[in-house]
Amino acid sequence: MKQGLFELISNEKIAKDVYRMVLCGDVSAITAPGQFVNIKLEGRFLRRPISVCDLDGSADRLTLVYKTVGGGTRQMAEMTPGAVLDLLSGLGNGFDVERSGARPLLVGGGVGTPPMLLLCRRLVARGARPIAVTGFGSADEVFLSDELRDAGAEVIVATMDGSAGVKGLVTDAMTGLEYTYFYACGPEAMLRAVDAAAPESVAGELSFEERMGCGFGACMGCSCETKYGAKRICKDGPVLRREEIIW
């Protein structure tokens, strides 16, 4: 983990209530897709955790994609290029790309989609051919489909109202797919449904968006029970292996 100052390069709206923020700073502590940063915001006691969406280590660029849901994320959306943000970076364990096999399935629900982009890049670089299933409420909420496709994934979008892609949940879009491993990030109800829909013979990893205090393992505010004992979602997670989760 590293604390550092990052300069805001751009901050643009990419879908309904969703923004993409590109930052420049020392990204050396970020080692795996699925890790997150914790952002300090003026006037707010707790930092806000946001997943690493994309990374360009050679240019020290970090991309975050976030949805405005409350005061902190609305404050982020109002920031303009040149602003300086205090970040804790390289937090969490991240996804294990070595376990993917040749045809991994990536499942992102809403703001669980951003970490799938860097994960996709890393898997493709290792020779895998990922399938990305992303789920949203409606067409105006869909984001990162082109980026995932450009990164080498076969992309299937699901929307609840059927205004884009498959009508229904990500699990409806998963029907009939064959995959060697799965990675999922999204609301807990979605993670539970993805776990139930995946064949028992296929292993996987699920990333939890737990509410957090410190974000780096010190306060025990994010502790959860697993088959291998208590774990802190911020430090031992946010990614847990399928076989260790107690639903």
Ligand X SMILES: Cc1cc2nc3c(=O)[nH]c(=O)nc-3n(C[C@H](O)[C@H](O)[C@H](O)COP(=O)(O)OP(=O)(O)OC[C@H]3O[C@@H](n4cnc5c(N)ncnc54)[C@H](O)[C@@H]3O)c2cc1C
Q: Give residues in contact with ligand X (CB under 6 A).
A: 36, 46, 48-51, 65-67, 69-73, 111, 114, 209-212, 238
**Tokens coding 108:** 């992102």
Considering only residues 14, 59, 189, 220, which one is a binding residue for ligand FES as defined by CB under 6 A?
220
Residue 1 contacts ligand FES per CB under 6 A: no
Alpha-carbon torsion 123, 63, 26, 9, what sign? positive
Min dist CB 236 to ligand FES, Å, is: 9
Helices (H) and strands (E) in the chain, counts: 5, 16
Considering only residues 214, 239, 240, 245, which one is a binding residue for ligand FES as defined by CB under 6 A?
214
- How is residue 238 annotated by DSSP? S
Rounded Cα gap, residues 117 and 103, in angstroms: 16
**Tokens coding 15:** 């879908």
217 contact, one of ligand FES, ligand X, none, CB 5-8 Å limit per kind: ligand FES
Residue 174 contacts ligand FES per CB under 6 A: no
With CB atoms as reference, the residue minimizing the distance to ligand X is 70
Residue 230 contacts ligand FES per CB under 6 A: no
Residue 5 contacts ligand FES per CB under 6 A: no
Residue 14 contacts ligand FES per CB under 6 A: no
Segment contacting ligand FES (CB under 6 A): 117-125, 153-161, 186-194, 206-214? Answer: 206-214
Whose CA is closest to 52, among 40, 61, 43, 42? 61
Backbone torsions φ then ψ of 104, nearest 5 degrees: -75, 150
125 contact, one of ligand X, ligand FES, none, CB 5-8 Å limit per kind: none
Note whether 52 and 115 are within 8 A (CB): yes
